[in-house]
Structure 1
Amino acid sequence: MGFFKNQFSNVVEWEEFRDDMIFWKWNNREIKKGSKLIIRSGQDAIFVNNGKIEGIFEDEGEYSIDSDIIPFLSTLKGFKFGFNSGMRVEVLFVNTKEFTVRWGTQNPVLIPTPQLPGGMPIRANGTFNFKVNDYVTLIDKIAGMKDSYLVDDVKLRITSVLDQLLMKWISREGKDMFNLQANAFEIAKGIREDLDMEVMGHGMTITGFQVMSFNYPQEIQDMITKTASHEMIGNLQKYQQVSMTDAMSSGKLQGGGAASDMAGMMMGMNMANEMMKNMNQGQKPAEQKASEPAKSEAPEGGKKYNFCPNCGAKNEGANFCPNCGQKLN
């Protein structure tokens, strides 16, 4: 008797588990008397009969179908196992974890901008997070027709609409087209809300969406870098001087050509002008001081002048200048 009992026993478990699998269906087999259900961490087991959910079991562990499962199934409570009979019930195992997926634009997204009639070609990349949150909708829309569902299936659906959403939210929130990273949070927030509406009809929800970086064409990136250099230096003339110095030190202006000679001459003239400005600024206070007239003040204590303050003649101790008669005390 024990031989036949073991022969009809089944173990109901997620046999083809993969970390990137959203759900897997145990079906087309009979649950016999003495069968066991095994639920592992991060899994829910959903018993389905004729497309209708009979019961949902969430706690991990090992359960007896006879005593732990059947009594709690909604319409199968009165089912009694016969010795040679069983019942066909589908068991849908669902991965309950939050999935993290990397995304990236396959082709540049042309963002409308007045500066470029054809649009600004931008690539972007980042991550998004999602999880299953509605078993009824999941079974009705997907699990009723599929035996398994992978993360790549969701990623394919997301990326199919992502270009349009990037265009929409960059145009709306990208206040500075050449510094989109500054508005990445607002752009990502808007995209997440739209994507959530996209997958909600399949029993899932988008729990996060992040933009890690925006990438411009190399020509645009070079222009952005040059503009940033202008701003950092703060002066176009100084930027030209620094650029020319860098070019000469790197050897790009060597070779004796006309362009090299002209560049060297311009740099020399600019440096000479700067030196003359600095010299003039340094000499100006000294010239002003030298041009001030000498003040002739009488010596303290009533002493006589050694030189006449009027004509400059030397005084030999007289009270009046022998040359012009100026009083000297």
Structure 2
Amino acid sequence: MSLWEKAQAELLDIIEWTDDSSDTMVWRFPRFDNEIKYGAQLIVRQSQVAVFVNMGKIADVFPPGKHKLMTDNMPVLTTLMGWQYGFHSPFKAEVYFVNTKNFTNLKWGTKNPVILRDPEFGAVRIRSFGSYVIKVSDPAKFINEIAGTSGRFVVEEIEDQLRNLVVTRFSDLVGESGIPLLDLASKYDELSKTLASRVLPEFAEYGLEVTKLLIENIALPPEVEAALDKKSSMGIIGDMDTYLKFQSGTAMEAAAKNPGGEASAGIGMGIGFAMANQLGKAMSPQTALTATPPPLDAPKQYFVGKDGKQSGPYPIEAISKEISEGRVTRDTLLWCAGMEKWQMAGEFSEFSHFFTTPPPLT
């Protein structure tokens, strides 16, 4: 190589961007007075796009690869500048490198509770959070609408706006879905896909694409969580009853096949538990009403309530005598087995004749 050729090579520009960050979306190539030599080398790496801007107007967009900047591969800029064939002079243009990779693990969440009307719990407040992934799908639009002339534009500068869009569409979605609160946890995947489809056109207005959106949690109010725990516990109890019946049947079958063995010895315990369980189910509050009075096959006994005090029990003969002697009147309160409350003596059929018999003649 001659000395002249070497000097000429050193004058050629190399325009490139080696991104060593994880959050830069747009980077402007620094050049004094934005002057670029004709024939400069433009190197665009994978997951990058180079956008040329002249006088505030988007000119040519270059995909990944190595490009020699000449009139034949800069048609838009050539037109804007009014270059003629054979133009070889330096020119002015701003060069923006746009990062087209996926920006991952961006967070979203509800700052304030979202009010949801549930058919079981009524109006309740819920919170939710998740993550999403974006990338620049239209570099020219993204520069025009969002990045502008910034020398370096990072994802944090637009994250709040994107988060607000996601939260707003999430609030609309859960309100329209009609999914009961207790079933929301099983619908995360379905809701995530629907939410992504709703925010997609709004992100596209900025030149962005949502490549992934996740609903990671929907936080229920404490009272709803308590109801869910109770429902789960009741389900476990139901399953346990079925399990115990199955175990009892299995144990009986094993005992029949091996009389005198361990299974036979244990079957009594299993049956005992089963009988205790059935006895417990048979008990009810109604049974407690007849706990104090004597058995049904015993003579009927009566309790007397008088002057705020209770006495008894007395057989029917004793009550009849008390009525005859005037110590028990029509309005005296009596109670016997099977009754829910006290009644006046005159309301008992077995004593009614005492109160309808006329007094003796004097």
Same fold (TM over 0.5): yes
Q: Which residue is 1:151 aligned to? A: 155
Counterpart residue identity of residue 52, structure 1: K
- TM-score, with normalisation over the residues of structure 1? 0.61
Contact 2:110 2:129 in 1 (8 A): no
Counterpart residue identity of residue 184, structure 1: Y
For 2:222 and 2:95, locate their aligned partners in 1 and report how far apart those are by CA, in whole Å.
Answer: 53
Q: Which residue is 1:263 aligned to? A: none
Contact 2:121 2:224 in 1 (8 A): no
Q: Which residue is 1:31 aligned to? A: 36
Q: Which residue is 1:164 aligned to? A: 168
Q: Which residue is 2:88 aligned to? A: 81
Asked if 1:54 corresponds to 2:56, the answer is no
Q: Any stretches of 5+ residues in structure 1 without a counterpart?
A: 239-270, 281-329
Counterpart residue identity of residue 107, structure 1: K
Deviation for aligned residue 1:160: 1.6
Q: How does 1:108-147 map to 2 (within 5 A)?
A: 108-114=112-118, 119-147=123-151
For 2:278 and 2:20, locate their aligned partners in 1 and report how far apart those are by CA, in whole Å.
Answer: 80
Q: Which residue is 1:204 aligned to? A: 208
Contact 2:116 2:174 in 1 (8 A): no
Deviation for aligned residue 1:236: 12
Q: How does 1:1-329 map to 2 (within 5 A)?
A: 5=8, 8-14=11-17, 17-26=20-29, 28-33=33-38, 35-61=40-66, 63-65=67-69, 69-74=70-75, 75-76=77-78, 78=84, 80-82=87-89, 86-114=90-118, 119-234=123-238, 274=276, 277=279
Contact 2:131 2:216 in 1 (8 A): yes
Counterpart residue identity of residue 73, structure 2: F
CA deviation string 1:257-289 (max 9, x = no partner): xxxxxxxxxxxxxx89826839x9xxxxxxxxx
Counterpart residue identity of residue 201, structure 1: E
Residues matched between the structures, number: 239
Q: Which residue is 2:298 aligned to? A: none
CA deviation string 1:163-215 (max 9, x = no partner): 32222111222512122122223322332122112222111122332212222
Q: 1:109 to 1:166 in 2, by over 3 A?
A: farther
Question: The residue matched to 2:209 in structure 1 has which SS?
Answer: strand
For 1:139 and 1:217, locate their aligned partners in 2 and report how far apart those are by CA, in whole Å.
Answer: 43
For 2:145 and 2:111, locate their aligned partners in 1 and report how far apart those are by CA, in whole Å.
Answer: 30
Q: Which stretch has the larger CA shift, 202-211 or 133-142?
A: 133-142
Q: 1:203 to 1:104 in 2, by over 3 A?
A: closer
For 1:5 and 1:130, locate their aligned partners in 2 and report how far apart those are by CA, in whole Å.
Answer: 43
Deviation for aligned residue 1:116: 5.6
For 1:136 and 1:147, locate their aligned partners in 2 and report how far apart those are by CA, in whole Å.
Answer: 15
Q: Any stretches of 5+ residues in structure 2 without a counterpart?
A: 243-272, 283-362
Contact 2:53 2:94 in 1 (8 A): yes
Contact 1:47 1:53 in 2 (8 A): yes
Give the RMSD, CA atoms, in angstroms: 3.4
For 2:160 and 2:42, locate their aligned partners in 1 and report how far apart those are by CA, in whole Å.
Answer: 33
Counterpart residue identity of residue 153, structure 1: E
For 1:150 and 1:113, locate their aligned partners in 2 and report how far apart those are by CA, in whole Å.
Answer: 39
For 2:206 and 2:175, locate their aligned partners in 1 and report how far apart those are by CA, in whole Å.
Answer: 28
Counterpart residue identity of residue 234, structure 1: G
Contact 1:158 1:195 in 2 (8 A): no
Q: 1:47 to 1:235 in 2, by over 3 A?
A: closer
Q: Percent identity?
A: 23
For 1:220 and 1:104, locate their aligned partners in 2 and report how far apart those are by CA, in whole Å.
Answer: 23
For 1:146 and 1:116, locate their aligned partners in 2 and report how far apart those are by CA, in whole Å.
Answer: 50
Contact 1:174 1:180 in 2 (8 A): no
Q: 1:156 to 1:276 in 2, by over 3 A?
A: closer
